[in-house]
Structure 1
Protein backbone atom coordinates (compact mmCIF):
# COMPACT_ATOMS: atom_id res chain seq x y z
CA UNK A 1 0.00 0.00 0.00
CA UNK A 2 2.91 2.33 0.72
CA UNK A 3 4.17 2.05 -2.86
CA UNK A 4 0.72 2.93 -4.21
CA UNK A 5 0.45 5.99 -1.98
CA UNK A 6 4.04 6.96 -2.76
CA UNK A 7 3.33 6.97 -6.50
CA UNK A 8 0.12 8.99 -6.03
CA UNK A 9 1.55 11.50 -3.53
CA UNK A 10 5.20 11.92 -4.53
CA UNK A 11 5.44 10.83 -8.16
CA UNK A 12 2.03 11.76 -9.61
CA UNK A 13 3.42 13.18 -12.87
CA UNK A 14 7.10 12.35 -12.38
CA UNK A 15 8.38 10.90 -15.64
CA UNK A 16 12.05 11.18 -14.70
CA UNK A 17 14.05 8.84 -12.57
CA UNK A 18 13.66 5.13 -11.97
CA UNK A 19 11.05 2.88 -10.34
CA UNK A 20 11.86 -0.51 -8.85
CA UNK A 21 9.85 -3.60 -9.71
CA UNK A 22 8.24 -3.62 -6.29
CA UNK A 23 7.04 -0.02 -6.60
CA UNK A 24 5.59 -0.60 -10.07
CA UNK A 25 3.93 -3.95 -9.44
CA UNK A 26 2.47 -3.02 -6.04
CA UNK A 27 1.01 0.12 -7.61
CA UNK A 28 -0.43 -1.98 -10.44
CA UNK A 29 -1.84 -4.61 -8.08
CA UNK A 30 -3.58 -2.13 -5.79
CA UNK A 31 -4.83 -0.20 -8.80
CA UNK A 32 -6.37 -3.38 -10.23
CA UNK A 33 -8.01 -4.26 -6.89
CA UNK A 34 -9.55 -0.77 -6.65
CA UNK A 35 -10.94 -1.01 -10.19
CA UNK A 36 -12.43 -4.46 -9.50
CA UNK A 37 -14.06 -3.23 -6.30
CA UNK A 38 -15.51 -0.21 -8.10
CA UNK A 39 -16.95 -2.40 -10.85
CA UNK A 40 -18.54 -5.07 -8.63
CA UNK A 41 -22.06 -3.52 -8.67
CA UNK A 42 -21.97 -3.36 -12.47
CA UNK A 43 -20.73 -6.95 -12.69
CA UNK A 44 -23.34 -8.37 -10.33
CA UNK A 45 -26.18 -6.42 -11.90
CA UNK A 46 -25.31 -7.44 -15.44
CA UNK A 47 -24.81 -11.09 -14.41
CA UNK A 48 -28.18 -11.05 -12.64
CA UNK A 49 -29.87 -9.64 -15.72
CA UNK A 50 -28.22 -12.26 -17.93
CA UNK A 51 -29.30 -15.11 -15.63
CA UNK A 52 -32.85 -13.76 -15.51
CA UNK A 53 -32.91 -13.52 -19.31
CA UNK A 54 -33.62 -9.81 -19.42
CA UNK A 55 -32.89 -8.47 -22.88
CA UNK A 56 -33.78 -4.87 -22.07
CA UNK A 57 -31.57 -4.51 -18.98
CA UNK A 58 -31.77 -1.07 -17.41
CA UNK A 59 -28.99 -0.35 -14.89
CA UNK A 60 -30.05 1.17 -11.58
CA UNK A 61 -28.63 4.08 -9.65
CA UNK A 62 -25.94 2.09 -7.82
CA UNK A 63 -24.68 0.66 -11.10
CA UNK A 64 -24.52 4.11 -12.69
CA UNK A 65 -22.70 5.47 -9.64
CA UNK A 66 -20.26 2.58 -9.88
CA UNK A 67 -19.65 3.32 -13.55
CA UNK A 68 -19.11 7.04 -12.95
CA UNK A 69 -16.73 6.38 -10.04
CA UNK A 70 -14.76 3.89 -12.15
CA UNK A 71 -14.40 6.40 -14.97
CA UNK A 72 -13.34 9.17 -12.57
CA UNK A 73 -10.82 6.86 -10.89
CA UNK A 74 -9.42 5.80 -14.28
CA UNK A 75 -8.94 9.43 -15.24
CA UNK A 76 -7.31 10.15 -11.87
CA UNK A 77 -4.74 7.33 -12.10
CA UNK A 78 -3.98 7.59 -15.83
CA UNK A 79 -1.05 10.00 -15.43
CA UNK A 80 0.59 8.29 -12.42
CA UNK A 81 0.18 4.90 -14.09
CA UNK A 82 1.88 6.14 -17.25
CA UNK A 83 4.60 7.83 -15.17
CA UNK A 84 5.26 4.67 -13.13
CA UNK A 85 5.51 2.59 -16.29
CA UNK A 86 7.95 5.00 -17.88
CA UNK A 87 10.07 5.16 -14.73
CA UNK A 88 10.05 1.34 -14.64
CA UNK A 89 11.30 1.28 -18.24
CA UNK A 90 14.03 3.73 -17.21
CA UNK A 91 15.03 1.34 -14.45
CA UNK A 92 15.61 -1.41 -17.01
CA UNK A 93 17.77 0.94 -19.09
CA UNK A 94 15.16 1.74 -21.74
CA UNK A 95 13.67 4.99 -22.88
CA UNK A 96 10.07 5.76 -21.95
CA UNK A 97 9.28 5.80 -25.66
CA UNK A 98 9.35 1.99 -25.49
CA UNK A 99 5.88 2.31 -23.97
CA UNK A 100 4.56 2.84 -27.49
CA UNK A 101 5.42 -0.78 -28.35
CA UNK A 102 2.27 -1.57 -26.39
CA UNK A 103 0.27 -0.41 -29.42
CA UNK A 104 1.75 -3.06 -31.73
CA UNK A 105 -0.98 -5.69 -32.14
CA UNK A 106 -0.52 -9.13 -30.59
CA UNK A 107 3.14 -8.91 -29.51
CA UNK A 108 3.53 -5.34 -28.27
CA UNK A 109 1.87 -5.91 -24.90
CA UNK A 110 3.89 -9.06 -24.33
CA UNK A 111 7.17 -7.30 -25.12
CA UNK A 112 6.29 -4.44 -22.76
CA UNK A 113 5.33 -6.96 -20.05
CA UNK A 114 8.72 -8.67 -20.41
CA UNK A 115 10.49 -5.31 -20.11
CA UNK A 116 8.51 -4.47 -16.97
CA UNK A 117 9.31 -7.83 -15.36
CA UNK A 118 13.06 -7.61 -16.02
CA UNK A 119 15.48 -6.79 -13.23
CA UNK A 120 16.91 -3.31 -12.76
CA UNK A 121 19.94 -2.25 -14.73
CA UNK A 122 22.82 -2.50 -12.23
CA UNK A 123 24.46 0.73 -11.18
CA UNK A 124 23.52 4.19 -12.34
CA UNK A 125 22.22 4.89 -15.82
CA UNK A 126 21.29 8.12 -17.60
CA UNK A 127 17.99 8.28 -15.64
CA UNK A 128 19.63 8.21 -12.23
CA UNK A 129 21.15 5.93 -9.62
CA UNK A 130 19.85 2.44 -9.05
CA UNK A 131 16.94 2.68 -6.57
CA UNK A 132 17.95 -0.66 -5.04
CA UNK A 133 21.03 1.06 -3.62
CA UNK A 134 18.88 3.77 -2.01
CA UNK A 135 16.86 1.49 0.28
CA UNK A 136 17.17 1.64 4.03
CA UNK A 137 19.00 -1.10 5.89
CA UNK A 138 15.83 -2.79 7.22
CA UNK A 139 13.79 -2.85 4.01
CA UNK A 140 13.42 -6.15 2.13
CA UNK A 141 15.11 -6.27 -1.28
CA UNK A 142 12.28 -7.48 -3.50
Structure 2
Protein backbone atom coordinates (compact mmCIF):
# COMPACT_ATOMS: atom_id res chain seq x y z
CA UNK A 1 0.00 0.00 0.00
CA UNK A 2 2.92 2.33 0.70
CA UNK A 3 4.10 1.99 -2.91
CA UNK A 4 0.65 3.03 -4.12
CA UNK A 5 0.60 6.08 -1.86
CA UNK A 6 4.15 7.06 -2.87
CA UNK A 7 3.09 7.16 -6.51
CA UNK A 8 0.04 9.26 -5.64
CA UNK A 9 2.25 11.69 -3.69
CA UNK A 10 4.28 12.17 -6.89
CA UNK A 11 1.05 13.01 -8.73
CA UNK A 12 2.47 14.61 -11.89
CA UNK A 13 6.19 13.96 -11.43
CA UNK A 14 7.62 12.75 -14.72
CA UNK A 15 11.28 13.25 -13.82
CA UNK A 16 13.53 10.90 -11.91
CA UNK A 17 13.51 7.14 -11.72
CA UNK A 18 11.20 4.46 -10.30
CA UNK A 19 12.07 0.93 -9.24
CA UNK A 20 10.34 -2.10 -10.74
CA UNK A 21 8.74 -2.78 -7.39
CA UNK A 22 7.26 0.72 -7.24
CA UNK A 23 5.64 0.34 -10.65
CA UNK A 24 4.35 -3.22 -10.29
CA UNK A 25 3.05 -2.74 -6.74
CA UNK A 26 1.21 0.40 -7.86
CA UNK A 27 -0.28 -1.55 -10.76
CA UNK A 28 -1.35 -4.43 -8.49
CA UNK A 29 -3.06 -2.18 -5.94
CA UNK A 30 -4.60 -0.18 -8.78
CA UNK A 31 -6.12 -3.32 -10.32
CA UNK A 32 -7.56 -4.32 -6.94
CA UNK A 33 -8.94 -0.80 -6.48
CA UNK A 34 -10.56 -0.90 -9.93
CA UNK A 35 -12.25 -4.20 -9.08
CA UNK A 36 -13.57 -2.72 -5.82
CA UNK A 37 -14.74 0.51 -7.49
CA UNK A 38 -16.51 -1.33 -10.32
CA UNK A 39 -18.13 -3.72 -7.83
CA UNK A 40 -19.38 -0.83 -5.70
CA UNK A 41 -20.49 1.01 -8.82
CA UNK A 42 -22.50 -2.01 -9.98
CA UNK A 43 -23.91 -2.66 -6.50
CA UNK A 44 -25.33 0.83 -6.13
CA UNK A 45 -26.57 0.86 -9.72
CA UNK A 46 -24.50 3.75 -11.05
CA UNK A 47 -22.03 1.73 -13.14
CA UNK A 48 -20.64 4.27 -15.54
CA UNK A 49 -20.14 6.87 -12.79
CA UNK A 50 -17.51 5.94 -10.18
CA UNK A 51 -15.10 4.03 -12.42
CA UNK A 52 -14.40 6.91 -14.86
CA UNK A 53 -13.86 9.27 -11.93
CA UNK A 54 -11.33 6.86 -10.38
CA UNK A 55 -9.70 6.27 -13.77
CA UNK A 56 -9.18 9.99 -14.34
CA UNK A 57 -7.90 10.46 -10.78
CA UNK A 58 -5.09 7.91 -11.20
CA UNK A 59 -4.32 8.47 -14.90
CA UNK A 60 -1.54 11.04 -14.39
CA UNK A 61 0.14 9.21 -11.49
CA UNK A 62 0.10 6.00 -13.53
CA UNK A 63 1.63 7.71 -16.56
CA UNK A 64 4.19 9.35 -14.25
CA UNK A 65 5.32 6.06 -12.71
CA UNK A 66 5.59 4.46 -16.17
CA UNK A 67 7.75 7.33 -17.43
CA UNK A 68 9.94 7.17 -14.30
CA UNK A 69 10.23 3.40 -14.74
CA UNK A 70 11.37 3.89 -18.34
CA UNK A 71 13.89 6.44 -17.09
CA UNK A 72 15.27 3.81 -14.69
CA UNK A 73 16.02 1.58 -17.66
CA UNK A 74 17.79 4.43 -19.45
CA UNK A 75 14.99 5.09 -21.92
CA UNK A 76 13.14 8.30 -22.65
CA UNK A 77 9.60 8.69 -21.42
CA UNK A 78 8.51 8.92 -25.04
CA UNK A 79 8.92 5.13 -25.25
CA UNK A 80 5.49 4.99 -23.60
CA UNK A 81 4.12 5.62 -27.08
CA UNK A 82 5.10 2.06 -28.02
CA UNK A 83 1.91 1.10 -26.19
CA UNK A 84 -0.06 2.64 -29.04
CA UNK A 85 1.27 0.13 -31.60
CA UNK A 86 -1.38 -2.58 -32.05
CA UNK A 87 -0.57 -6.01 -30.58
CA UNK A 88 3.23 -5.87 -30.25
CA UNK A 89 3.46 -2.39 -28.74
CA UNK A 90 2.08 -3.43 -25.37
CA UNK A 91 4.37 -6.46 -25.28
CA UNK A 92 7.41 -4.29 -26.01
CA UNK A 93 6.35 -1.81 -23.31
CA UNK A 94 5.88 -4.60 -20.75
CA UNK A 95 9.36 -5.91 -21.54
CA UNK A 96 10.81 -2.42 -21.04
CA UNK A 97 8.94 -2.04 -17.73
CA UNK A 98 10.09 -5.45 -16.49
CA UNK A 99 13.74 -4.89 -17.40
CA UNK A 100 16.09 -4.24 -14.50
CA UNK A 101 17.12 -0.61 -14.14
CA UNK A 102 20.61 0.70 -14.69
CA UNK A 103 22.80 0.14 -11.62
CA UNK A 104 24.58 3.46 -11.88
CA UNK A 105 23.37 7.01 -12.11
CA UNK A 106 22.06 7.79 -15.57
CA UNK A 107 20.82 10.94 -17.28
CA UNK A 108 17.59 10.78 -15.27
CA UNK A 109 19.06 10.61 -11.78
CA UNK A 110 20.64 8.29 -9.23
CA UNK A 111 19.74 4.63 -8.87
CA UNK A 112 16.54 4.52 -6.76
CA UNK A 113 17.72 1.29 -5.09
CA UNK A 114 20.77 3.01 -3.66
CA UNK A 115 18.88 6.07 -2.36
CA UNK A 116 18.22 5.66 1.34
CA UNK A 117 15.26 7.14 3.17
CA UNK A 118 15.97 9.44 6.10
**Structure-1-length-normalised TM-score:** 0.78
With 127-136 and 103-112 compared, the bigger mean Cα shift is at 127-136
User: Post-superposition shift, 1:122?
Assistant: 1.3
* Contact preservation (8 Å) 2:41, 2:51: no
Partner of 2:16: 17
Residue 63 in 1 paired to residue 63 in 2?
no
* Contact preservation (8 Å) 2:4, 2:29: yes
Task: Classify the secondary structure of the residue corresponding to 1:25.
Answer: helix
| Structure whose alpha-carbon radius of gyration is higher | 1
Partner of 1:6: 6
Residues 43-97 of structure 1 deviation map (CA, whole Å, 9 limit, x = unaligned): 6x7xxxxxxxxxxxxxxxx121x43111100000000000000000000110000
Residue 96 in 1 paired to residue 77 in 2?
yes
| Residues 99-118 of structure 1 mapped to structure 2, 5 A cutoff | 99-118=80-99
Partner of 2:37: 38
Residues matched between the structures, number: 117
Say which of 128, 133, 137 aligns to 2:109.
Answer: 128
Instruction: Kindly report structure 1 stretches of 4+ aligned residues shifted beyond 4 Å.
Output: none
